[in-house]
């Protein structure tokens, strides 16, 4: 029976008594609580957003200014060279020039130029604040010789020598020439100052011909000091990571370098000893730019914000984390106290309302219990049909309805079971389809990843080597451009057919990894057999005689990269596959249509 009070329907008489009594008061208290909470939360978000945005902008401005300063020094070099102020053939003038500029840029560890003929000149700052010049030309026979300097910047006494130093082989030189513009290196630990450093290199041309590359080794000590100076509270954090999520700088005394295999490497943010940094990075996928998120660390609430910084190929992300306790403790105390009183008043009125309702609605408890039993699938006859009032009519209607529903439910359960079986069969079919590539019919990447992860774990557990073969169709883009995408699809299907006919053991798998790239897993196989299988695959594809006029071989060929090893228990499957991908890269660069093993194999 449904009771109506002034047009409002209630599903129970108890509610009909409770709601009009306590609803206005509860609604008022809830409205006040929600308004207060929403208002306070907006205030918190607004205050912390403005604070974090302001500090993020300060860091971005500092980064832009400092990086512009490093670029500016290279621009000064180029302008001086073109104007004739810097004559690289004039030893005395050249050394005075580099030394004088180095004195005016305190954050520069070294500035130099590498010429097309392999010569190398410049000046560097030493750990004790002195400045030395370097000479590397035909006179030094390819060695870099460092000299102390006089007051006017000329080289005096020999200090040390580095044999066989060719600037043209250095990453900063190669990157600048490749980009044909100013380029920034990755962060590294300076071998003299033991501080984070970045190299800025800029090529110089004359009549469109490369003359050489100017470089600046720029210390980033100032970045940590800048982050430390920001008013982020005693528990706040601000840190910077690169595109690989490695720490570049932090407002705390956090280490950003570690030693691996005798080399200094940047520490990944997720491996940081700082819990706040680790938690922020863990949530970074849900942290849109300029959007606050909050989280708890050691029962303390933090708000995080971030912005990206991009310049000359540098892709960094700046994170700022502010502690609620540092800025909003008084406000939060007042809010919590108000919320506590409102909840207390609501509970008191609810208890009082239920007490009154129970006294009034006790006669229909039996009917209510039978209705609940019916919802659970059990029909219990209610013996109150002889009553002449509304309760008797309701009881009679309930008994008729319960009898009818019991029959309907039994029939529906049979239909539902049948439909469930049909859906399960269809789902199994669709699941099977999702594991195979639609074009080639061989397993797809999803199926391969599932199969490989099991094999990878088994290899670690049993200390047995496994092999990954990465295959890529040579010059496939040119093939598509020449013969069209339909022919390209036919080429992919033919390559897949060769793999399918070659890889037949149940313990192995060949799959399409994406585009023109395929991957093969071999288990319980020695190195000679792996080479034999690889050559059989290459020969089978070449024997297809698919014409390819853009290839040096005249037909479609593939390159193969192989990793064959027992995985390290600290190594993940993606890292293992990456070695095969790297070997494929070498195979491509060494002439294509060949097999290359990963390094050290």
User: Is residue 158 very low, low, confident or very high in pLDDT (cuts 50, 70, 90)?
Assistant: very high
Q: Is the pLDDT of residue 345 over 80?
A: no
Q: Which of 230, 129, 245, 145 is nearest to 187 (CA)?
A: 245
At residue 279, the pLDDT reads 86
pLDDT (tens digit per residue) in 232-242 = 888 888 889 88
Give the residue, 313 or 596, on which the prediction is more confident.
596
CATH superfamily ID and name for 18-353 = PAS domain (3.30.450.20)
DSSP structure class, residue 137 = S
Q: Which of 394, 393, 406 is nearest to 368 (CA)?
A: 394
User: Is residue 409 very low, low, confident or very high in pLDDT (cuts 50, 70, 90)?
Assistant: low
Pairing assessment for the beta strands 558-565 and 595-597 based on DSSP bridges: parallel
Q: Is the pLDDT of residue 18 over 70?
A: no
User: Is residue 429 very low, low, confident or very high in pLDDT (cuts 50, 70, 90)?
Assistant: low
Provide CB contacts within 8 A for 498, sequence distance 6+. Answer: 537, 540, 541, 544
User: Is residue 494 very low, low, confident or very high in pLDDT (cuts 50, 70, 90)?
Assistant: very high
Gap between the Cα atoms of 483 and 494, Å rounded: 15
Tokens of 301: 């609430």
Per the prediction, the chain carries an average pLDDT of: 83
At residue 507, the pLDDT reads 93
Q: Which of 89, 139, 137 is nearest to 117 (CA)?
A: 137
489 - beta bridge partners? none
At residue 5, the pLDDT reads 47
At residue 1, the pLDDT reads 46
At residue 463, the pLDDT reads 92
Question: Of 33-42, 91-100, 579-588, which gets the smallest average pLDDT?
Answer: 33-42
Give the three-class secondary structure for 289: coil
pTM (predicted TM-score) = 0.49
DSSP H or E segment with residue 3: strand 3-5
The full 3-state SS of 420-465, as one line of letters, equals: HHHHHHHHHHHHHHCCECCCCCCECHHHHHHHHHHHHHHHHHHCCC
Tokens of 519: 């991957």
Q: Which residues of 153-180 are buried (b: 16+ CB within 10 A; e: fewer)?
A: bbbeeeeeeeeebebbebebbebbbeee
Domain boundaries, the chain: 18-353, 377-427, 445-597
Question: Of 412-416, 441-445, 585-589, which gets the smallest average pLDDT?
Answer: 412-416
At residue 195, the pLDDT reads 79
φ, ψ dihedrals at 68, nearest 5°: -65, -35
Cβ atoms 113, 122 nearer than 8 A: yes
Angle at 21 between CA 20 and CA 24, to 5 degrees: 75
DSSP H or E segment with residue 242: none
At residue 65, the pLDDT reads 84
At residue 262, the pLDDT reads 67
The CATH class for the domain spanning 445-597 reads: alpha beta
Q: Is the pLDDT of residue 40 over 70?
A: no
By CB neighbour count within 10 A (0-12 exposed, 13-18 middle, 19+ buried), where does 280 fall? buried
Gap between the Cα atoms of 494 and 110, Å rounded: 56
Give the residue, 221 or 20, on which the prediction is more confident.
221
What is the rounded average pLDDT of the residues 222-231?
82
Q: Is the pLDDT of residue 491 over 90?
A: yes
Give the three-class secondary structure for 507: coil
Give the three-class secondary structure for 331: helix
Gap between the Cα atoms of 237 and 255, Å rounded: 14
DSSP H or E segment with residue 537: helix 527-542
What is the rounded average pLDDT of the residues 563-581?
92
Report the 10 Å Cβ neighbour count for 508. Answer: 20
pLDDT (tens digit per residue) in 261-270 = 767 778 888 8
At residue 581, the pLDDT reads 94
User: Is residue 245 very low, low, confident or very high in pLDDT (cuts 50, 70, 90)?
Assistant: confident
Provide CB contacts within 8 A for 165, sequence distance 6+. Answer: 120, 136, 142, 143, 144
Give the three-class secondary structure for 188: strand
Q: Is the pLDDT of residue 2 over 90?
A: no
Q: Which of 358, 368, 356, 280 is nearest to 318 (CA)?
A: 280
Provide CB contacts within 8 A for 292, sequence distance 6+. Answer: 45, 48, 49, 52, 303, 304, 305
Provide CB contacts within 8 A for 562, sequence distance 6+. Answer: 467, 468, 469, 470, 530, 534, 580, 583, 595, 596, 597, 598, 601
């Amino acid at each position: 029976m449904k009771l109506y009070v002034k047009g409002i329907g209630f599903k129970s008489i108890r509610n009909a008594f409770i709601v009009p009594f306590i609803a206005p008061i509860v609604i008022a208290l809830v409205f006040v609580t929600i308004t207060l909470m929403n208002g306070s939360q907006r205030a918190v978000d607004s205050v912390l957003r403005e604070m974090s945005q302001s500090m993020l902008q300060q860091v971005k401005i500092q980064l832009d200014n400092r990086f512009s300063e490093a670029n500016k020094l290279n621009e000064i070099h180029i302008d001086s060279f073109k104007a004739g102020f810097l004559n690289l053939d004039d030893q005395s003038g050249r050394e005075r020039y580099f030394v004088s500029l180095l004195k005016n840029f305190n954050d520069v560890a070294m500035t130099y130029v590498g010429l097309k003929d392999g010569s190398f000149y410049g000046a560097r700052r030493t750990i004790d604040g002195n400045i030395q010049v370097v000479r590397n030309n035909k006179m030094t026979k390819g060695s870099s010789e460092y000299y102390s300097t006089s007051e006017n910047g000329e080289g005096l006494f020999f200090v040390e020598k580095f044999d066989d130093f060719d600037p043209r082989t250095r990453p900063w030189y190669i990157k600048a020439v490749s980009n044909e513009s100013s380029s920034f290196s990755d962060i590294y630990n300076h071998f003299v100052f033991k501080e984070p450093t970045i190299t800025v290199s800029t090529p110089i041309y004359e009549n469109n011909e490369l003359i050489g590359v100017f470089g600046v080794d720029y210390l980033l000590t100032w970045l940590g000091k800048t982050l430390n100076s920001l008013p982020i509270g005693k528990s706040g954090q601000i840190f910077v990571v690169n595109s690989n999520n490695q720490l570049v700088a932090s407002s705390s005394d956090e280490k950003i370098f570690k030693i691996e295999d005798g080399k200094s490497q940047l520490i990944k943010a997720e491996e940081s000893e700082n819990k706040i940094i680790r938690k922020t990075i863990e949530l970074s996928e849900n942290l849109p730019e300029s959007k606050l998120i909050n989280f708890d660390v050691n029962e303390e609430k933090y708000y995080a914000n971030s912005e990206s910084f991009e310049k000359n190929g540098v892709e960094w992300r700046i994170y700022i984390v502010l502690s609620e306790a540092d800025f909003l403790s008084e406000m939060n105390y007042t809010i919590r106290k108000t919320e506590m009183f409102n909840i207390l008043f609501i509970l008191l009125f609810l208890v009082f309302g239920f007490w009154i309702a129970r006294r009034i609605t006790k006669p229909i408890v039996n009917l209510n219990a039978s209705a609940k039993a019916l919802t659970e699938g059990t029909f219990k006859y209610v013996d109150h049909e002889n009553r002449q009032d509304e309760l008797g009519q309701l009881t009679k209607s309930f008994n008729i309805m319960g009898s009818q529903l019991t029959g309907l439910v039994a029939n529906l359960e049979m239909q539902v079971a049948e439909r469930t079986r049909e859906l399960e069969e269809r789902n199994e079919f669709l699941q099977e389809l999702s594991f195979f590539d639609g074009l080639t019919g061989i397993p797809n990447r999803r199926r391969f990843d599932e199969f490989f992860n099991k094999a990878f774990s088994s290899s670690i557990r049993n200390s047995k080597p496994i092999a990954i073969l990465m295959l890529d169709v040579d010059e496939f883009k040119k093939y598509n451009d020449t013969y069209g995408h339909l022919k390209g699809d036919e080429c992919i299907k033919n390559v897949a057919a060769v793999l399918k006919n070659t890889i037949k053991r149940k313990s192995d798998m060949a799959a399409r990894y994406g585009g023109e790239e395929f991957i093969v897993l071999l288990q319980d196989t020695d190195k000679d057999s792996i080479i034999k299988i690889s050559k059989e695959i290459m020969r089978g594809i070449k024997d297809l005689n698919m014409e390819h006029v853009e290839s040096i071989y005249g037909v479609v060929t593939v390159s193969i990269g192989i990793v064959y090893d027992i995985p390290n228990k600290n190594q993940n499957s993606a890292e293992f596959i990456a070695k095969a991908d790297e070997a494929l890269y070498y195979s491509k660069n060494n002439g294509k249509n060949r097999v290359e093993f990963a390094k050290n194999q």
